[in-house]
Structure 1
Amino acid sequence: MTRDLDALLNELDLETKTRLLAGASVWSLPAVPGIGLGAVVFSDGPVGVRGVQWSADDPSVTLPSPTALAATWDPALARRVGGLLAGEARRKGVHVLLAPTVNLHRSPLGGRHFECYSEDPLLTGLIGAGYVIGVQAGGVGVTVKHFVANDSETERLTVDVHVAERTLRELYLAPFETIVRQAKPWGVMAAYNSVNGRTMTEHDALVNGVLRREWGFDGVVVSDWLAARDTVGAARGGLDIAMPGPNSVYGERLAEAVRAGKISPKRVDAMVRRVLLLAERTHAFTDQKPPNPSEVDGNALAQEVAQRSFVLLRNGFSHKERPVLPLEEPKSIALIGALAADPKILGGGSATVFPEHIVSPLDGLRAALPHGTELRYAVGADPRTTLPPATDNFRLRAMVHDAGGSELATFALREGKIDWIGELPRGLELATLDSVDIAGTFTPTVSGVHTFGITGLGHLTLRVGRQTLFDGPSIPSGDIFAAIMKVREHRREIELAAGKPVDVRLTYRVPKELRAFAQGSFAWLVFGLGHQEPAPDEDATLKEAVRLAGQSEVAVVVVGTTAEVESEGFDRASLRLPGRQDELVAKVAAANPNTIVVVNAGAPVELPWREDVAAILLTWFPGQAGGAALASVLFGHEEPGGRLPTTWPATLAQSPVTNVQPHQGILEYDEGVFIGYRAAPPDTAYCFGHGLGYTTWSYDDLAVAPTPEGGAAVRVRLRNTGDRAGREVVQIYLSPAQPDAERPVRWLAGFASVEAGPGGGVTALIHVEPRAAETWRAGAWRHNGGEYVFEASHSSVEPRLSTTATLGKIR
């Protein structure tokens, strides 16, 4: 049914209208029973749907990271992912997903790199559009984020990005424009940062001017959580919803601004009308029946996306004079690396969800091992700088107390970690909560010196047995948001005897700094108790791994980043792998020529040993089924189908952009449009679009037919010249026939995936939009007619066929 939203508006008084724009809680807008409106519930994504509780008690299907999804170069697969997430949202009572993140990989140092898609605006926009279409087809809304130029984490709440209009249009606004025009999203999220002197929650020119009037966006604009700062500025700047509620800049403050004549009632009505439209679209009115949740097998889709996303960077030859991968029933495999047993399946921060189960590489290989193949495991090197949460042989609970010491609630815990972000569980309120204990017993299985680690922003007290091991504040100075997100650990040691239980208690007190940041309603209680039993030293552990590798036919080394390196809230300082992982790979490769390195990272890392190993497989943050996908690809049941969505430099110095640190609050995008592959040196380690499969392809014919509107229809004929079925991503790059210093040498203009069996031929049809030949000049898009070189390529630097065509709009 089509609802008369204007009639509903007339039934609401000013206070009700402004409450609708402020939110009722951290994750929801208020219900208005008088007009039949239920609460509209938001939830974080993008790799799953967490729901309103930050808890493992309500698990979620956990998909591979957005960088992995973009590595599939498959908008149709992104659409299926969106459909799955819509079903998950409905199952959890969620109406709006806070995703997708379509900011660009401006620099490989960006800490939230894993949550964005690509360095290229076209690839980002098309993958994002597929995702949005899939989610909204299931009756669930999205908030495409973070609008705009929120491409790094340092001083993210306050940084002012200075960017030229052409750069903004051609790069950073472009994915949002593609998604608005193709997928018609129901929501967009305004970022924390400022652009050219104006905060995005008050940016009239970009929100009302570009997003609404120019592109025709008819949905809601919601603030990033705690981003809205000024009532009048936000309302005039185009912000519809200021989250979280109820203590936002809207609500009663907005009502007062209307009564004082600072904000027009018509402006508020327009804002509320867009919220009511969102509610109707997401079936939030009580007389609406929402669509049935998707019946998609979440685990199967998670594994499919992972397999399709894995990028085979290198595949050398074994002593059998054939490629090392896929493996053909080796007699023995040494699996090495802490991340092989405890992988990093997703990035940290607001993207966090809790899977019901995780298949590690160790689990996956054990389950898929060919008959007669022996698998042996060694840690080798552990990159983690914090201890894993206390689990085995701990029996723990959480106890919550008020300032007077009265117990407010108690909870059973699976592990020694509390993650209460947003809303507190079971009706607890931040105003009355004073302390939380993680308490219980631990029964050691090994005698010796045990190490306990404690993390958290606040006052911490750790007692083990009769000893107080730590009692003091853990409140770093500086940016409170960065301090919250960047883990800081204190370690203490104690001698314990096997088989003798000891009492363990970690007490956390909420600091005043955190209460101020929370603005009275947005909780951020994250602290934990880690543990490590007595273990060999690092040298002995590494030596054992090398010995094992030397005794095995194949060595598989899993390396990668950690939560301390890649997360929301802070940028990276280096592209080096943490810990002694580089040393581990070098020594294993020296001991075994058939060394395969699996890289478990969401963003580029330096691989100084890349020419010394037999094969390198990039698995990103692969989600809950990553280990099963890895086994399937290693043993050749599936082909690694991914292509790099971002350039991987040999060293950080090779990256065109390394500046993510604001100076006096300002971050200059002075590199213009020359980021990523558009400016990468020719000797970069692995170029944009690169990825090997298990077969080979010949590119046989390229035909380009210009279209009247200034674009082109491209046809590429290919043949699978290998001995097994495979998939190829055909990439079309455009270059001006006459070099133009103001434009890159080449840029991505379109792409398509094709599949064929051994010896099979196939044709890729690719439409190149007129925008590919346009630049932003003098306040408008200008078509640059003339001769262009079209390259049908395997990657940005591997053209297979090329031809020249003249582009120009027919008037």
Structure 2
Amino acid sequence: MADSEAAELNIDEILAKLTLGQKVKLLSGHGWWHTTPIPEAGIPAVRMSDGPNGVRGTRFFNGVPSSCFPSSTGLGSSFDVQLAAEVGKALADECHAKGCHVLLGPTVNTQRSPLGGRGFESFSEDPHLNGTIAAAYVNGLQSKGVAATIKHFATNDQEFERFSIDSIVSERALREIYLKPFQIALKDANPWAFMTAYNRLNGTHCSENKHLLDNILRKEWGFKGMVMSDWTGTYSTAESIQAGMDLEMPGPTTMRGNAVIRSVVGQKLFPEDIDNCARKVLGLLQHAYDSGIPFDAPEQTLDTPQVRSLLRKASADAVVLLKNENRVLPIKSDKRKIAVIGPNAKYAVTSGGGSAALLSTYTVSPLEGITAAAKEIGAEVKYTVGSLSHQYLPVIDPYISHGGKDKTAFFEFWNESPTEDFLSTSPDFSNQLPPCAWSTKTNSGQCFLADGIDDSKVNEVCWLKFSTTFTPDEDGDWDVSLNVAGRGNLFIDGKLIIDLSTNPAPGESFFGLGTEDIRKVLKGLKAGTKHEIEIRLSNKDFIAKGAPFSTRGGIRLGAIKQLDAEQGLKDAIAAAKDSDVAILVIGLNNDWESEGHDRQNMDLPGLTNRLVTEVLSVNPNTIVVNQSGTPVEMPWVEEAHTLVQAFYGGNEVGNGLADVLFGKVNPSGKLALTFPKRLEDNPSYPSFGDKGQSHGKIVYNEGVFVGYRGYEVKKLAPLFPFGYGLSYTTFEHSSLELSPVSPDGKFTVSFTVKNTGDVEGREVSQVYVADPESSLPRPVKELAGFSKVSLKAGESQKVTVSLDKYALSFYDERKGSWVAEAGKFAVYVAASSEDVKLSGEVQLAKSFFWNGL
């Protein structure tokens, strides 16, 4: 039964043949990425992989390269359901190449605050847009047999104390804002798996929250699939099983195994409880068989012209044009000299950090994309960085080789300390180290050693040596940095440079498991001169302290030539003055936006704001491109007449951006997130993160007034509103028609969209509904539907958006049900939450209540 051919499983028959011990094995994972196989019963291991914007495969360390698609906030800002489905199908193809049956995505946690470390992973602050794009993604993925795992269920909206924080949310806000995207995705796409959140919800961890998993998900919504924990997110045995959390991940088990059997013996659990969970795991196995994906298959890279084309299309469609007051865009052929400036120009920032990060098959930086596009119009490009914006130094990878030959480094592993002074700050390098237990090559100075190690040769507790050759490409002083998971030291040419072996302070790297990041200066380096690097590391103390999952540790080694801050700004000003157009590529990166920590503020890093101001002052044709997964403050926005929001664009971030800047693609994105003028205006402020918690609790004080709902009810003008985005053409809306509302709340909104400009373009028309007569305070208006159409210059098209009872309803906590109250409702057709084009009115004759989907 363990071959790759589709098999129809008789799950009841299989369960009847399994022993209690075998069933219990099914309830926890085998290693990081597989369910537990039971070979004697013919049950293979189902393989999983991190998403949501790519398929990493089974290894953090030395993984097989993959395609990285734009971050979810970028995909959400496309407002393109068809594109989301295409991305889902492409990710399914990636899963087939990686032998992966289950993708751990999409993420649909509502962004309460711009500071959320994983905010870039979800599609929107609005539950309807979030859930609708997620449903299309899931349908695309599962159409090719790969199971989607929608996550993190629920209210996993911040990284601070994410394993323990208690989200205190009213039932109404929970239903209308935080569960709604999951509900929409389940109704419209039926993902085959759910993943529980790390945090508590109203006092109970989500992985053992019976109200969430059983009452709502199973009974009310009718979910029949499997529920798994987030990695190390299971905190109980009997409680989690009774709540309906089927699978503990990863393995080996912490809370199940023999503890489950003991709970059965003590009748805290009963055999039918185990059967219920095991049945769901076997149901996922059935999907794995149906997919045709082989079990335990070798992993392969998928890199085809078709994939590259979709990556490029998705990257361009994730770009939002925010300002074009002087019509500098698109860049025309009369611009002969182009200056590219900024910290995000030379490096391809493909995604945020953490579970979303992967080794891309290839990358195209903004500088590379712009240079290629400029060449086509005969323009010259000059680059200067201007200022730096990294939190950690860029990884040393471009400058390393092993033995001076290839772009690699060498790892050696021992199961006991090779010498007495191995972790000393002054080891005797003349002592020859004994043969290692195992060794391997790597091509990076950033290695998380959670997998990819030969477990048959390397113990969990081990000693490591990383060695490579560092060759700077410029004369001058260079900064180097190191942080590790474990204890270790950096030596260059036999000299101690960084000591992280002597009581290292904790830091935020490696999912919060690493040390602080230490920087040192190497004076007077010469380009082309080789320097021998050695990092000695042990994970002994790391393991002894109780790491939440098994890992041999990790290193992150960075290097960059020092930049004098004032000289960098002077070089940028000079380049901008000497150009017909200046393109400033600024923003954040995966140092700042990552799983494991939240941002502390909305500021752009370093001297970025000063850089923008200085360049704007010397070149009237300056294009500011901000690249971030979530909003940032822009104190220079009034001076910037041309502004683009690029998000994280995946492999093709550079080409996608260039396609928009040079007019190959007419931008059509609309912001899936409100950009506030300042952090204090955000509705969640100050009840968010480490500054908002109160003895382990976060109170969702804003209730249902999240995102644009909060700005509108308080009459606070944002920097850029939800749903806002410009085009190189213009559109007109007319001829609004509203059908009568049926007794069960269904009606249609029809209107005509016309392209009134002179180039082809795509317009996102948004339909909002308001209930001015509600018995409870409700948002000024709420997104209920949207449509995206492509129109040639002068072309018109009639658009119809179908709405249902949820467009009229709110959640009534007194009755524990949804209610659509009789009365009049305002209907708006808009270009953004602030830009209403058409308005009308419908009437519901009689109130009605319901539960379920």
Range of TM-score over shorter length: over 0.9
Q: Which residue is 1:743 aligned to? A: 778
Q: Which residue is 2:760 aligned to? A: 725
Question: Secondary structure of 1:427's match?
Answer: coil
Q: Structure 2 counterpart of 1:531, which letter? A: A
1:603-637 residue CA offsets vs partner (Å, 9 max, x unmatched): 00011111212311111011000101111111101
2:20 paired with 1:14: yes
Q: Which residue is 1:394 aligned to? A: 400
- What is the distance in 2 between the residues matched to 1:524 and 1:315? 51
- What is the distance in 1 between the residues matched to 2:233 and 2:256? 12
- What is the distance in 2 between the residues matched to 1:127 and 1:416? 36
Q: Which residue is 1:450 aligned to? A: 478
Q: Does the CA contact (< 8 Å) of 2:412 and 2:438 recur in 1?
A: yes
Alignment of 1:660-675 (within 5 A): 660-661=688-689, 662-675=693-706
TM-score normalized by the length of structure 1: 0.95
Give the counterpart of 2:838 among 792, 795, 801: 801
Q: Does the CA contact (< 8 Å) of 2:73 and 2:647 recur in 1?
A: yes
CA distance 1:481–1:212, shift in 2 (3 Å): farther
Give the counterpart of 2:137 among 131, 141, 145: 131
- What is the distance in 1 between the residues matched to 2:295 and 2:459? 37
Q: Which residue is 1:335 aligned to? A: 340
2:819 paired with 1:785: no
2:491 paired with 1:463: yes
Q: Structure 1 counterpart of 2:737, which letter? A: A
Give the counterpart of 2:244 among 238, 244, 247: 238
- What is the distance in 2 between the residues matched to 1:110 and 1:538? 29
2:373 paired with 1:368: yes
CA distance 1:783–1:199, shift in 2 (3 Å): same
2:46 paired with 1:40: yes
TM-score normalized by the length of structure 2: 0.90
Alignment length, in residue pairs?
A: 804
1:419-441 residue CA offsets vs partner (Å, 9 max, x unmatched): 223x2423367744422222133
CA distance 1:367–1:379, shift in 2 (3 Å): same
783-792 or 447-456: bigger deviation? 447-456
499-508 or 205-214: bigger deviation? 499-508
Q: Does the CA contact (< 8 Å) of 1:462 and 1:469 recur in 2?
A: yes
Alignment of 1:292-331 (within 5 A): 297-317=306-326, 322-331=327-336
1:385-437 residue CA offsets vs partner (Å, 9 max, x unmatched): 3222223443231222222325122222323221223x242336774442222
1:340-383 residue CA offsets vs partner (Å, 9 max, x unmatched): 00132101011111111110011111112233311111110110
Q: Structure 1 counterpart of 2:840, which letter? A: T
Alignment of 1:164-203 (within 5 A): 164-203=170-209
1:248-287 residue CA offsets vs partner (Å, 9 max, x unmatched): 3112221222123221101111111111111001217999
- What is the distance in 1 between the residues matched to 2:737 and 2:304? 42
142-151 or 733-742: bigger deviation? 733-742
Give the counterpart of 1:505 among 515, 521, 534: 534
Q: Which residue is 2:598 aligned to? A: 571
Question: Secondary structure of 1:128's match?
Answer: helix
- What is the distance in 2 between the residues matched to 1:444 and 1:3? 59
Alignment of 1:30-429 (within 5 A): 30-283=36-289, 297-317=306-326, 322-369=327-374, 370-395=376-401, 396-405=409-418, 407-421=436-450, 423-427=451-455
2:587 paired with 1:560: yes
RMSD value over aligned CA atoms? 2.4
Q: Structure 2 counterpart of 1:786, which letter? A: G
Percent identical pairs in the alignment equals 34
CA distance 1:792–1:155, shift in 2 (3 Å): same
Deviation at 1:707, TM superposition (A): 3.5
Question: Secondary structure of 2:553's match?
Answer: strand
2:736 paired with 1:702: yes
- What is the distance in 2 between the residues matched to 1:402 and 1:161? 43
CA distance 1:753–1:287, shift in 2 (3 Å): closer
CA distance 1:755–1:358, shift in 2 (3 Å): same
Q: Which residue is 1:679 aligned to? A: 710
Q: Which residue is 2:432 aligned to? A: none
406-415 or 743-752: bigger deviation? 406-415
Q: Does the CA contact (< 8 Å) of 1:324 and 1:614 recur in 2?
A: no
- What is the distance in 2 between the residues matched to 1:781 and 1:258? 38
Q: Which residue is 1:711 aligned to? A: 746
Q: Which residue is 2:406 aligned to? A: none
Q: Does the CA contact (< 8 Å) of 1:240 and 1:271 recur in 2?
A: yes
Q: Does the CA contact (< 8 Å) of 1:84 and 1:296 recur in 2?
A: no
Q: Does the CA contact (< 8 Å) of 2:460 and 2:551 recur in 1?
A: no
Q: Does the CA contact (< 8 Å) of 1:121 and 1:174 recur in 2?
A: yes
Q: Does the CA contact (< 8 Å) of 2:44 and 2:295 recur in 1?
A: no
Q: Which residue is 1:529 aligned to? A: 557
591-600 or 390-399: bigger deviation? 390-399
- What is the distance in 1 between the residues matched to 2:294 and 2:441? 37
CA distance 1:632–1:449, shift in 2 (3 Å): closer
Q: Does the CA contact (< 8 Å) of 1:39 and 1:284 recur in 2?
A: no
- What is the distance in 2 between the residues matched to 1:211 and 1:754? 34
Give the counterpart of 2:522 among 485, 493, 503: 493
1:462-515 residue CA offsets vs partner (Å, 9 max, x unmatched): 111132122234643599986337963332434545554332111222153455
- What is the distance in 2 between the residues matched to 1:442 and 1:602? 32
Deviation at 1:761, TM superposition (A): 0.5
575-584 or 505-514: bigger deviation? 505-514
Structure 1 residue ranges without an equivalent (≥5):
none
- What is the distance in 1 between the residues matched to 2:836 and 2:786? 13
2:463 paired with 1:435: yes
Q: Does the CA contact (< 8 Å) of 1:37 and 1:286 recur in 2?
A: no
Q: Does the CA contact (< 8 Å) of 2:481 and 2:517 recur in 1?
A: no
- What is the distance in 2 between the residues matched to 1:39 and 1:542? 56
- What is the distance in 1 between the residues matched to 2:228 and 2:412? 35
Q: Which residue is 2:423 aligned to? A: none
Question: Secondary structure of 1:518's match?
Answer: coil
2:557 paired with 1:548: no
Q: Structure 1 counterpart of 2:531, which letter? A: V
Deviation at 1:542, TM superposition (A): 1.1
